[in-house]
Structure 1
Amino acid sequence: MPFAPGRPVLYRHIANGRVVAVRPCRVVLDDDRGLLLWLAGGSAVATEVATDGRGVRDMPFTEWVTLDHRLHETTWRGPAILKFLPRDGHNSVWFFHNAQDDFAAWYVNLEAPVARWDDGSAAGVDVVDQDLDIVVAPDRSWRWKDEDEFAERLALPEHYWVRDEAAVWAEGHRVIELIEAGTFPFDGTWTDFRPDPSWRVPHALPAGWDRPASR
Structure 2
Amino acid sequence: MSFEPGRLILHRDTHHGRIAFVHPGRVISDDDRGLLIWVARGSTIAVETTLDGRFPRDLPFREWMAADRAPRIAQWCGPGVLRFFPPGENHSVWFFRDDDGEFTGWYVNLEESAVRWDDGDTAGIDVIDQDLDVVVDAGRGWRWKDEDDFAERLGYPDLYWVPDEAAVRAEGRRVIARIEAGEFPFDGTWTDFRPDPSWPTPTELPPGWDRPVVARLGESAARLAE
Q: TM-score range by the shorter chain?
A: over 0.9
Offset at residue 144 of structure 1 (A)? 0.4
Comparing both structures, which one devotes a greater share of its residues to helix? 2
Question: TM-score scaled to structure 2, two decimals?
Answer: 0.93
Aligned partner letter, 1:28 = I
SS in 1 for 2:178: helix
Aligned partner letter, 1:185 = P
Q: Deviations over 1:158-204 (max 9, x none)?
A: 11111111110000000000000000000000000011222110010
Q: Deviations over 1:36-59 (max 9, x none)?
A: 000000000001111111011111
Tell me the matched-pair count.
215
Offset at residue 88 of structure 1 (A)? 3.8
Does the 8 Å contact 2:79/2:101 carry over to 1? no
Q: Does 1:84 align with 2:104?
A: no
How far, CA to CA, are the matches of 2:67 and 2:182 in structure 1? 44
Does the 8 Å contact 2:95/2:107 carry over to 1? yes
Gaps of 5+ in 2: 216-226
Does the 8 Å contact 1:114/1:214 carry over to 2? no
Question: TM-score scaled to structure 1, two decimals?
Answer: 0.98
Residue in structure 2 matched with residue 23 of structure 1 by the alignment: 23
Residue in structure 2 matched with residue 172 of structure 1 by the alignment: 172
Q: Deviations over 1:7-33 (max 9, x none)?
A: 000000010111111000000000000
Matches within 5 A, 1:65-104: 65-104=65-104
Aligned partner letter, 1:80 = G
Residue in structure 1 matched with residue 160 of structure 2 by the alignment: 160
Deviating beyond 6 angstroms after TM superposition, the runs of 4 or more aligned structure 1 residues are none
Matches within 5 A, 1:200-215: 200-215=200-215
Gaps of 5+ in 1: none
Q: Deviations over 1:126-170 (max 9, x none)?
A: 000000000001110000000000001111111111111111000
Tell me the percent identity.
59
Offset at residue 114 of structure 1 (A)? 4.7
How far, CA to CA, are the matches of 2:55 and 2:134 in structure 1? 22
How far, CA to CA, are the matches of 2:196 and 2:28 in structure 1? 9
